[in-house]
Amino acid sequence: MKLLVQSSRSFQSHLAEISEILGQATDSPYQLINDNAALFEIEEDLSEDLKNQFHLKHIDFAILDHYKALNEFSLCVMDMDSTLISIECIDEIADMCGKKEDVALITKSAMMGEIDFSQSLIKRVSLLEGLGEEMLFKVIEERLKFNEGTQAWIEACRKNNVTTVLVSGGFDYFADYVKNKLGIDVAISNQLEIKDKKLTGKVLGRIVNDAVKAQTVREFQAKLNIDKSKTIVIGDGANDLKMLAEAQYSIAYHAKPIVQEKTQFKFNHSDFNGVLNLFKI
């Protein structure tokens, strides 16, 4: 097996502490991938104590049966809010009308899996009734930030013929912007109803919930004639769990605890360049 070790700091700057943590787990020389990541050979899984030590040192790790090339995969499906971008768009919209605290509490409960996502979305959007459409543009202009490394990840997928799909419980106004900026192939999200340039507090059509997200993965697998073994899914919230289960490479990106418990890989300290390091390019 291979152990991928990485963080936001230079690998060489904490090589000593990494070696100390690994102790007798490996005596093999490491293979440097780049300034932030390296591969070690290990004979067996790490103990929970060693895993916890890595976490306390703000070091991400991944245990791989094989270090696969990205071109061995055909599909990557990704969440948007708090995954590709650093914000929850609906919380920022709510801030524009002085209701961020109320909406953010509902968002947090939904992402933790404490309440039903569809009902939470209906409730949150209802609080936005009357807000001017121009405030959506203001959120993009002033608050929407891409997580570091997202552009490099999408470009790598494109170069390796991996179809990229953004599927979000957020809104098309933002999802389409993110799709176009990053060069993602397809974006699927919810549509806010807008009349006379004001939000009505309603969502149009089908709500993109956890079941729809999982269905989207399966539909694209069918279109590409592939299965889980050639699929990558990346998410952070409880409404991503069903779609994460549809991929061999399920990745929790700075995710809620319930998501980290049920995914193959998790990143708590690295940015999206850390996702890229999972694969030979």
Helix, strand or coil for residue 127?
coil
Q: For residue 243, give the nearest of 184, 176, 166 by alpha carbon.
A: 166
Handedness of CA 154, 112, 247, 262 (dihedral sign): positive
Catalytic pick among 60, 79, 210, 240: 79
Catalytic pick among 81, 210, 236, 271: 81
Q: For residue 147, give the nearest of 115, 178, 104, 185 by alpha carbon.
A: 178
Handedness of CA 63, 67, 69, 72 (dihedral sign): negative
* Structure-derived torsion over alpha carbons of residues 164, 169, 174, 176, reported in degrees to the nearest 10: 40
Cα atoms found within 13 Å of the Cα of residue 103, Cβ hemisphere only: 22
CA distance 161 to 91: 35
CA distance 162 to 230: 9
CA distances from 195 to 126, 131, 141, 204, 206 (A): 14, 11, 22, 12, 19
81 annotated active-site: yes
* Structure-derived torsion over alpha carbons of residues 187, 170, 259, 41, reported in degrees to the nearest 10: 40
Handedness of CA 161, 236, 275, 3 (dihedral sign): negative
79 annotated active-site: yes
Q: Among all residues, which ones are annotated catalytic?
A: 79, 81
